[in-house]
Structure 1
Amino acid sequence: MADTKRFFIEISYKGTNYHGWQVQPNAITVQELLDKALSIFFRQKVETLGCGRTDTGVHATQFFAHFDLTDFGSVLKDSTLQSINSLLPFDISAKSLTETSATAHARFDASLRSYEYHIHFEKSPFLHELSWLLRDKLIVSAMNQAASELLNYTDFSCFSKSNTQVFTNNCKISRAEWVETAQGLIFHISADRFLRNMVRAIVGTMVEIGKGKLAPDAIHQIIESKNRSNAGASVPSCGLYLTNVKYPYI
């Protein structure tokens, strides 16, 4: 049996043109194009496994995947990333490549993930597809009051997409905060794990609170109901970014 080595690759991408990260039979995805580029460069079939699964239109400023090579030669050369990037489209960028242990796992070893959700309030061609244009003014203090309560819960079934096959809906959120910027608002959220559609559902609920349609303390009843229909609508994918993934060994 040939020797193998495992590598972690760090990438970033603008998700507008892709049906998410994970390979799909009839749609273009980030994983498909990354696997193709790596297979061409290393001259062997490469299949990556990502740190998560972003949905259609979602962006990532930091995303990790691991893959194995059986004929690795001198992989970590100065020109390697440049060569891989030349095989990737303009909206996907390889940022780093590191050799790791044979048991390292991009998905299961991640100890913390962070997302941002961007909202702007005035039409801008430079934010189109990169932020959600919202006409309504929001009460940010009320949204932050509700956001702070997320840290007191672990079961977020009410924000999970229906019919997902997961062992548990428990997550430990360590940060949930709205920050005002020159361009609008950014919601920062960090946790040990996230459920499918969780961040977009949380933001949708917070926006209802920011509009004054819900009181900040309504977040308690929504979470404790464990019912997705009680939470707000899922907001558009264009404003969502995976921004940070932490590992014990990186």
Structure 2
Amino acid sequence: MRYFIVFSYFGKSYHGWQIQPNAITVQEVLEDGLSKLLRQGLSVVGAGRTDAGVHAKQMYAHFDFDGEFDVDELVYRLNALLPDDIAIAEIRAVKEDAHARFDAIERTYEYWITQEKNPFYLDSAHYLRHRLDVPAMNEAARLLMEHRDFECFSKSNTDVRTFNCDVKKAEWTVDADKLVFTIVADRFLRNMVRAVVGTLIEVGIGKSDLEYVRNVLKSKDRSLAGPSVPAKGLYLTKISYPESLQKYE
């Protein structure tokens, strides 16, 4: 039987989601925990990859297991076994062909910036002392929704079939003591959000303008875009699936 597992993690201690040699990852820790509790070697397939240091408020993965277990009990025991920076919210049975990655129809990321030195955001937001022109950054962000090809924001030498993404929302808002960039799309390229934020900051500090962003988008050249911002300010906050999959029992 196939199960979806819904969880969150604070990424500071991990070299991203995907298992890698000689580096601790969220996938490895989660697989080890499930395998110990269910007494069977299991692999989990994530809804996507997050880079080293990136956080997830909501992440999905699926795994297959043919035995029986009490779902609530497994959630409780898995949370007790896992380190404090990974938390399981839910485990539920889904269709045999349900896929955490390929069935996802929308993903939402946030990037947090703090403009004042704050020790409580030391590992969870990017401190930027420059005053930012938020309206100008929002004007530039709206240009993202007019394009499909985002090769200019993709990590170099990335092996993907297409650089096309359908960006449905890109907006800066002030949330109490931090500035939050929210971006929603059907898919994201590796390092894309951090490169987008770095490019929009160039506009916010007055170093560049809308024409610069238009030229970057047309160029398909990563070297023309702004620098990638630190991973610690980036959060995967939501993954959406078709209603038919969500309601399956």
Please tell me the TM-score bracket, short chain as reference: over 0.9
Specify which of 12, 25, 30 is matched with residue 29 of structure 1. Answer: 25
TM-score, scaled relative to structure 1: 0.96
Aligned partner of 1:137 in structure 2 is 131
Aligned partner of 2:183 in structure 1 is 189
What SS is found at the alignment partner of 1:170? coil
TM-score, scaled relative to structure 2: 0.96
Distance in 2 (CA, whole Å) between partners of 1:103 and 1:97 is 16
Please list every run of at least 4 consecutive aligned residues from structure 1 whose deviation after the TM superposition is greater than 6 angstroms: none
Q: Does 1:239 align with 2:230?
A: no
Distance in 1 (CA, whole Å) between partners of 2:65 and 2:74 is 14
Distance in 1 (CA, whole Å) between partners of 2:164 and 2:151 is 8
Distance in 2 (CA, whole Å) between partners of 1:51 and 1:75 is 24
Q: Does 1:73 align with 2:68?
A: yes
Aligned partner of 1:230 in structure 2 is 224
Deviations 1:40-91 (A, max 9, x none): 1111111001000100000000000000013x21342x32211110110000
Q: Does 1:18 align with 2:14?
A: yes
Aligned partner of 1:128 in structure 2 is 122
Please show how residues 91-110 of structure 1 align to structure 2 within 5 Å.
91-110=85-104
Distance in 1 (CA, whole Å) between partners of 2:119 and 2:222 is 34
Specify which of 3, 27, 31 is matched with residue 7 of structure 1. Answer: 3
Specify which of 43, 47, 51 is matched with residue 39 of structure 2. Answer: 43
Please show how residues 206-225 of structure 1 align to structure 2 within 5 Å.
206-225=200-219
Structure 1, unaligned runs of 5 or more: none
Letter in 2 for 1:44: Q
Structure 2, unaligned runs of 5 or more: none
Q: Does 1:55 align with 2:51?
A: yes
Aligned partner of 1:169 in structure 2 is 163
What SS is found at the alignment partner of 2:107? strand
Q: CA RMSD in A?
A: 0.8
Letter in 2 for 1:82: Y
Aligned partner of 1:200 in structure 2 is 194
Identity, % of aligned positions? 52
CA-CA distance at 1:181 after TM superposition: 1.9
Number of matched residues? 244
Q: Which moved more, 1:177-186 or 1:190-199?
A: 177-186
